[in-house]
């Protein structure tokens, strides 16, 4: 396992930056999640690290080795990386065991078979060693793909949306199983997702991207509790935004004040997480709509013409109007 470091990396397609000056580090033996909406550049980062494409500026190092810089692109097979993609990409004509053994061709047959079985065991699929991919569920195929990528002891493993295409139950199970396997293997992992929950659950560190730019790199806790911008806050869950001016250290929103450590008079924006709004019987805001949202209800409330969303415990009894308390831990202010 090795640290993977990107320094001021840029990549353009057809004259437009698809990655613009991105620097980030995947620490040795940890999971770094690349989180962002479609088109934010997540897969481009993986392709550049894998050596599938050249970069246009900056450099990429895997451990001490310079893997990519302008005019230098170490071929993929010399990078010693593992890869897992969302479409599993197992060889259909090979059994599960043969798929896992595929990258172990330098070993003698018996050794290779034993190691493949050991990896199948690690992902809980030893009993399916002789099954062909079409005989396995999507989640099982993905676990085989993970075992195949890790068996040759890569310096780092790249996972591109590995849980998409699975139903929610399979997804949660596979997420937990993958995390356990990565932790056991102590492999550096870069994991692409557009799902905030996946990123928060799986990552040791998060890199939040938008439009080819890195918005924030932090631990999941830091990113959630101390976002550095409105966009970074919005990447981790629904937020409410209000534009106003700072007065006496706060922005006064229709639903209450949000503390702002900015000079008085500054044009600023408040961002309040939907789960940071506590509702109680009262008359400050009108309840427009209540909808189930898993363990929560999503409630739309209106005050002074503004409509905000609140996530409250499911089946809370709310009347037609409520008082609103903004919990400071989920409320942030940014200069506009
Ligand atoms: N080969 C290519 N040719 C032209 N444009 C490309 C190419 N690959 C990526 N892009 C563009 O670069 C930007 C980033 O794409 P990328 O696939 O890295 O985003 P992403 O965050 O992985 O998105 P998704 O979640 O949809 O996979 C997009 O605007 C995309 O259209």
Rounded to the nearest angstrom, the distance between the alpha carbon of 48 and the centre of ligand 1 is: 12
> pLDDT digit string (tens) for 252-305?
999 999 999 999 999 999 999 999 999 999 999 999 999 998 888 999 999 999
Cβ 44 under 6 angstroms from ligand 1: yes
Instruction: Give Dmax over CA atoms of the chain in angstroms.
Output: 76
- Say if ligand 1 is within 6 A of residue 13 CB: yes
- Output the six-digit token pair for 203: 């990552």
> How far is the CA of 18 from the CAs of 7, 13, 154, 223, 251, in angstroms?
15, 6, 27, 23, 35
CA–chain centroid gap for 186, Å, is: 19
Give this prediction's pTM: 0.90
41 pocket-lining for ligand 1 (C-beta < 6 Å): yes
Nearest C-alpha to atom 6 of ligand 1 is from which residue? Answer: 13
Collapse the DSSP code of 43 into the 3-class scheme (helix H, G, I; strand E, B; otherwise coil) and give the result. Answer: helix
Gap between the Cα atoms of 88 and 106, Å rounded: 24
- Mean pLDDT value of segment 92-97: 94
Phi, psi of 22 (to 5 degrees): -95, 125
- pLDDT score of 100 more than 80: yes
- Run of H or E residues at 241: strand 239-247
Residue of minimum CA distance from atom 18 in ligand 1: 41
The dotted CATH code for 4-232 is 3.40.50.300
Q: Where are the domains of the chain?
A: 4-232, 238-335
Q: What is the DSSP string of 98-156?
A: HHHHGGGTTS-HHHHHHHHHHHHHHTT-GGGTT--GGGS-HHHHHHHHHHHHHTT--SE
- 88 pLDDT higher than 70: no
DSSP 279-309: EEEEEEEEEEEEEEETTEEEEEEEETTEEEE
Which of 12, 19, 42, 195 most suits a substitution to test ligand 1, by most atoms within 8 Å of the C-beta? 42
> Which of the four CATH numbers 3.90.79.10, 3.40.640.10, 2.40.50.140, 3.40.366.10 does domain 238-335 have?
2.40.50.140
Contact of 59 with 69, CB cutoff 8 Å: yes
Q: What is the pLDDT of residue 330?
A: 97
Structure-model confidence comparison of residues 327 and 179, the more confident one: 327
Question: What is the mean predicted confidence (pLDDT) over 93-102?
Answer: 94
Structure tokens that stand for 104 in this block: 């172990």
* Per-residue model confidence as pLDDT tens digits over 165-220: 778 788 888 888 888 888 888 899 999 998 998 899 889 999 999 999 999 999 99
**Collapsing DSSP states into helix, strand and coil, what is residue 166?**
coil
Closest CA to ligand 1's atom 17 = 43
Question: Ligand 1 pocket, 43 CB below 6 A?
Answer: yes
Q: What crossing angle do the helices spanning 109-122 and 168-185 adopt, rounded to 10°?
A: 130
Query: What would the pLDDT profile of 255-266 be if each residue is shown by its tens digit?
Result: 999 999 999 999
**CA 56 from centre of chain:** 25
């Amino acid at each position: 396992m090795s640290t993977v470091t990107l320094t001021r990396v840029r990549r353009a397609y057809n004259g437009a930056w698809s990655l613009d000056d991105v620097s980030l580090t995947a620490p040795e033996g940890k999971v770094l999640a690349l989180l962002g909406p479609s088109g934010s550049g997540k897969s481009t980062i993986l392709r550049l690290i894998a050596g599938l494409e050249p970069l246009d500026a900056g450099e990429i190092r895997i451990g001490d080795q310079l893997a990519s810089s302008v005019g230098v692109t170490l071929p993929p097979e010399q990078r010693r990386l593992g890869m897992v993609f969302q479409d599993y990409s197992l060889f259909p004509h090979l059994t599960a065991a043969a798929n896992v053994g595929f990258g172990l061709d330098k070993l003698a047959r018996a050794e290779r078979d034993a190691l493949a079985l050991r990896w199948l065991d690690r992902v809980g699929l030893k009993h399916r060693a002789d099954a062909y991919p079409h005989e396995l569920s999507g989640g099982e195929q993905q676990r085989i793909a993970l075992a195949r990528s890790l068996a040759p002891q890569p310096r780092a493993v790249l996972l591109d949306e590995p849980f998409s295409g699975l139903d929610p139950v399979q997804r949660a199970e596979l997420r937990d199983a993958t995390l356990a396997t990565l932790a056991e293997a102590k492999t550096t992992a870069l994991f692409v997702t557009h799902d905030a929950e996946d990123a928060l659950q799986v990552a040791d560190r998060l890199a939040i991207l938008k439009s080819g730019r890195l918005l924030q790199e932090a631990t999941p806790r830091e990113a959630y509790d101390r976002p550095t911008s409105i966009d970074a806050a919005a990447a981790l869950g629904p937020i409410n935004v209000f534009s106003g001016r700072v007065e006496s250290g706060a922005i006064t929103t229709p639903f209450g004040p949000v503390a702002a450590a900015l000079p008085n008079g500054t044009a600023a924006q408040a961002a309040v997480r939907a789960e940071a709004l506590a509702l109680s019987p009262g008359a400050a805001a009108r309840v427009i709509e209540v909808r189930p949202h898993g363990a929560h209800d999503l409630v739309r409330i209106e005050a002074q013409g503004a409509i905000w969303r609140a996530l409250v415990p499911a089946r809370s009894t709310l009347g037609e109007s409520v008082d609103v308390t903004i919990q400071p831990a989920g409320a942030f202010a940014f200069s506009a």
